[in-house]
Structure 1
């Protein structure tokens, strides 16, 4: 039987049914017993142990007495997970009047001490910080009735065994001890035998159906298209929250900058950030100020964003555990999610191996193209629920005034332009051959060729101040041109890249509007400008070849450097004479 206050909190939160691990906590054999629970990440464990310890803490009462010494201690492996557990317990126990304090590394210890002095019913913390408070005497756990170890296997992997044993040894002998773990290796069993009494073993999910709510996709791309494929995948799925995982901090900084420049509301999460910065990044995701988080594996465990529908592996996971922990950020507590692995062609074998070791099956899908995204955006606009709402009485007068002044078509066109301009421009991708998974390994594909549209009539030419020496490519220039002039790619004709600049063609009926927009707002890229070219199309410029000894008069032949007399006549320095070798006898 669940405590009435908790049942009311779950109902107000929109819970229609409990997850298997939560239901297991309500069984008669689980009440008042020590528990060793194994359940996959994302199965609702926080609510589960909140339900499990409620009878122990409240008894027959519906509300807590005034706070004094803590009655329950929740131990979590990371700062992010500890803060997340606190947030979950706050809404779950709101009707009980519970006071919940946190003790985590990286936060102000003096503030935590003041909160403990004021009294708390439940304390949530990380092992090292909890041990510090107990040692210093600021945390008195003599009245504990329950201790919960969340993600116990992770805490042991991170080297917290000594801290956990210290905390459990300092807690009262007459208490409940609940261990929640995704796996139960031998060291977890040893910990259970030492600190639990007749623990009930509960297994609520087998490995065969793990991550059943996640759709796994493999997206094969050319190595140079990896970041472009990430951008297009984010645009195509358009989830409220998405996480992109990278291996290193530098990769996180680079990709965050790239996505920000493309107009994504993005934050980053890595080990070099302070706790306050990491907390602010996650809060920005929760309140909608950001929709994309680029992270290292520091975020692979414990991060629970309620609307996270997409996980992208920008760098392939190095092992199956990393894949599962990263992917487990989505598809949580019965919600569906998508996990996309961006796989460069030469890493196909590695991707298949890690999926096989994780016992997962992924569907091979092509990277979303610009036309796919454009079609998806238009359909999303057509299906927008706001368009089905009739104008209110307060709006109807001004709506009629707008209709008379501009007409329905012009208003609809303005709305369409506003909707499309608010979204980042998709990237152009190289075509990946069909059935690429069967193509021979190591087969290189041609680089993205210059864009050439000989069927483009009445075009107007423009010049942009980037060329080969700036590493300009059509797949980068085309989105920049479209974004700068508020046009679609259909309005752009040929693109010719020269050494110092590039030329591109705009459809005649779009050229004047394009030029006016660029003159007013610029290109959006620092140090890059666009100029209009009046008259005929500019001539094609051949790339300049530079090499020592290259004879421009005789193309294709290499003229060797002169030697000996010829070198003297040509003014070249004569070759140096070798030094004489002396024996030890005539030296000195």
Structure 2
């Protein structure tokens, strides 16, 4: 490796790793003007920053010596924002300082602090850790920073975004003033510049642009997709590029879990990385990616920070990043160490402007296009099969014996077809994806009249072409058409986005030959153009092994689902749907006027008595039995009676009731004898 002042032990380690040429950031930090000075470096991820500051602090740690002295108090402190990045830096510095005899210790969150304490007590030359855990060890007097000669803040902008500003300032304040401070950041916002002015002296500033750094080997692509085809687009992109290792970024944990389940269901070997995982689970997931047991990683931005995976050739943005810096950090996971990589953005029509703005702010030129189709993926599968390493292996005697036995029983064509089926069975099936087309264009791309009449002129706005409780997936046929019915509906989660490819495959027709699609509870009706209807009817008669869905023609046109129709409102055509307001009853014009009919027929309202004879919504209460006269009053003001009633004997004023025999005997009217009660003897009070 061509370096200006690399120590001999580090040069040997670089030669063993086949580092033949220095990257621009490595050359800049080893320049004569940068030796012994504080550094403020702006470089993208994947540009070789770890090796760069490892070489930059070598003179501070080693001087002119070949090996480091016995480990005691640390000489260098590396601060990283995440656990994965800190562990990655730990591995890089271990092999870089292997011949110098350096002891590198990591202190990160999620690990056993007691184990880290024992390792620090045993001595270390370089300590790598996350801000929170390092501050904890410093406050507990476990980490001695009095002998530090260099402090490196790796990805300082990310640490500020994650809320580690106070921890960073605490570390810089507690370390010696004579230390050398190296600040590395992908971007240099104002907060980073102000921190550099406060904690650095006469810093040497290095800026490596994306064209000069690690992002020059990344190919950016933007794919236009329909809003409901994000999962299908991820599947086709992974199948099209066939990278040994790929990472798919989502913005939330729920999106990560959902996409991981979808990819597992389709046959991908996939792991997930999110903030809800423990450190042990994260380590196992990353290890499965490194040893090849898993091929795809679905992760959030924070969880994937600092991930360095071998052979990572593809980055997919299932959700658009929030800002240009995040876009660069995501894409920087690929295209590292001189290798080529691809960064694919999935853009729905509503997010097209935002995607263009992100690319412009990041200074990236992306190639716009559509998602890979099934035909393109199948063509690539054929090429990959012919170039498979299996055909290049040496043939053994056992292989020849089995080959002759197969040729004796089967023809060469049958054996080749079986081999092709076996090869395809190991691969996840590609998905049929709708071209966004007219529906995929943004509002600004459509004309004002097109926007204004998009709903009014659509086929689902006309009563004769609107399906109950479902909108047609495609417009009606301008010419003649024939209707067909498929024996699947909403009860089995039927959706137009996968019904359309299935219809095309079963009937051997194109998407342009399919008109309206109406999805009911138990069935789906769709129309086929008259030119393709005969051929379609012949092909659907053959059984299909993949879906086994019965399709039949409807000679009388669309019929609908009887069960669904019962629950639907009538499909009106204009006023009253062309029918009278009341079926089987006289219309409003035929009924007599309101005043021409008497209110009560046959009986006058009052019949000599002041008693209301109409209907009442309640039962009358029995009359009050208290006086010789009977007077009742109902809840209506005009309902009352004034009649005479036979006199009734009065109830005695005392007693329990007429049905009991404890009443006193009644003598003359109004008098009675008082009953005599036996007196109870009084209890004598006790003197005690």
Does structure 1 conserve the Cα–Cα contact (< 8 Å) formed by 2:312 and 2:334?
A: yes
- CA deviation digits over 1:514-570, x for unaligned, max 9? 76xx8xxxx9xxxxxx6899xx98998733334466499xx96789799x999xxxx
Aligned to 1:367: 371
Query: Does residue 118 of structure 1 match 2:136?
Result: no
Aligned to 2:157: 153
Query: Does residue 228 of structure 1 match 2:232?
Result: yes
Does structure 2 conserve the Cα–Cα contact (< 8 Å) formed by 1:75 and 1:125?
A: yes
SS of the residue corresponding to residue 339 of structure 1 reads: strand
Does structure 1 conserve the Cα–Cα contact (< 8 Å) formed by 2:320 and 2:346?
A: yes
Aligned to 2:359: 355
- Pairwise CA distance, 1:37: 1.6
Query: Does residue 258 of structure 1 match 2:276?
Result: no
Query: Does residue 468 of structure 1 match 2:472?
Result: no
Q: Counterparts of 1:558 and 1:82 in 2: how far apart (Å)?
A: 77
Q: Counterparts of 2:27 and 2:75 in 1: how far apart (Å)?
A: 24
Which protein shows a greater Rg?
Answer: 2
Q: Counterparts of 2:522 and 2:331 in 1: how far apart (Å)?
A: 44
- Within a 5 Å distance, the mapping from 1:128-207 to structure 2 comes to 128-205=132-209
Q: Counterparts of 1:142 and 1:304 in 2: how far apart (Å)?
A: 32
Q: 1:475 to 1:427 in 2, by over 3 A?
A: farther
Does structure 1 conserve the Cα–Cα contact (< 8 Å) formed by 2:42 and 2:208?
A: yes
Aligned to 1:84: 88
Aligned to 1:267: 271
- Pairwise CA distance, 1:381: 1.0
- Within a 5 Å distance, the mapping from 1:267-306 to structure 2 comes to 267-299=271-303, 301-306=305-310
TM-score by length of 2: 0.68
Q: Counterparts of 2:266 and 2:507 in 1: how far apart (Å)?
A: 19
- Pairwise CA distance, 1:493: 6.3
Q: Counterparts of 2:541 and 2:23 in 1: how far apart (Å)?
A: 59
Does structure 2 conserve the Cα–Cα contact (< 8 Å) formed by 1:309 and 1:330?
A: yes
Q: Counterparts of 1:126 and 1:506 in 2: how far apart (Å)?
A: 67
Instruction: Give the one of 316, 324, 335 matched to 1:331.
Output: 335
TM-score by length of 1: 0.79
Query: Does residue 10 of structure 1 match 2:32?
Result: no
Q: Counterparts of 1:405 and 1:260 in 2: how far apart (Å)?
A: 38
Moved more, 142-151 or 469-478: 469-478
Moved more, 136-145 or 11-20: 11-20
Q: 1:506 to 1:31 in 2, by over 3 A?
A: farther
SS of the residue corresponding to residue 215 of structure 2 reads: coil
Q: 1:343 to 1:205 in 2, by over 3 A?
A: closer
- Pairwise CA distance, 1:217: 1.5
SS of the residue corresponding to residue 135 of structure 2 reads: helix
Structure 1, unmatched stretches of 5+, are: 451-461, 483-488, 524-529, 567-576, 578-588
Q: 1:449 to 1:18 in 2, by over 3 A?
A: same
Q: 1:64 to 1:7 in 2, by over 3 A?
A: same
**How many corresponding residue pairs?**
534
Aligned to 1:542: 560
Does structure 2 conserve the Cα–Cα contact (< 8 Å) formed by 1:244 and 1:311?
A: yes
Aligned to 1:387: 391
Higher relative contact order, chain-length normalized (CA < 8 Å, sep 6+): 1
Q: 1:471 to 1:118 in 2, by over 3 A?
A: same
Q: Counterparts of 1:505 and 1:115 in 2: how far apart (Å)?
A: 76
Q: 1:550 to 1:188 in 2, by over 3 A?
A: closer
Q: 1:510 to 1:321 in 2, by over 3 A?
A: same
SS of the residue corresponding to residue 378 of structure 2 reads: helix
- Within a 5 Å distance, the mapping from 1:32-51 to structure 2 comes to 32-51=36-55
Query: Does residue 322 of structure 1 match 2:322?
Result: no
Aligned to 1:440: 446
Moved more, 291-300 or 399-408: 399-408
- Pairwise CA distance, 1:274: 2.4
Q: 1:412 to 1:320 in 2, by over 3 A?
A: same
Q: Counterparts of 1:283 and 1:44 in 2: how far apart (Å)?
A: 22
Aligned to 2:75: 71
Q: 1:565 to 1:160 in 2, by over 3 A?
A: same
Q: 1:510 to 1:43 in 2, by over 3 A?
A: farther
Aligned to 1:499: 521
Bigger fraction of residues in helix: 1
Does structure 1 conserve the Cα–Cα contact (< 8 Å) formed by 2:273 and 2:282?
A: yes
Instruction: Give the one of 83, 97, 100 matched to 2:101.
Output: 97
SS of the residue corresponding to residue 22 of structure 1 reads: helix
Q: 1:547 to 1:402 in 2, by over 3 A?
A: closer
SS of the residue corresponding to residue 99 of structure 2 reads: helix
Does structure 1 conserve the Cα–Cα contact (< 8 Å) formed by 2:214 and 2:332?
A: no
- Pairwise CA distance, 1:501: 6.0
SS of the residue corresponding to residue 298 of structure 1 reads: coil
Does structure 2 conserve the Cα–Cα contact (< 8 Å) formed by 1:232 and 1:367?
A: yes
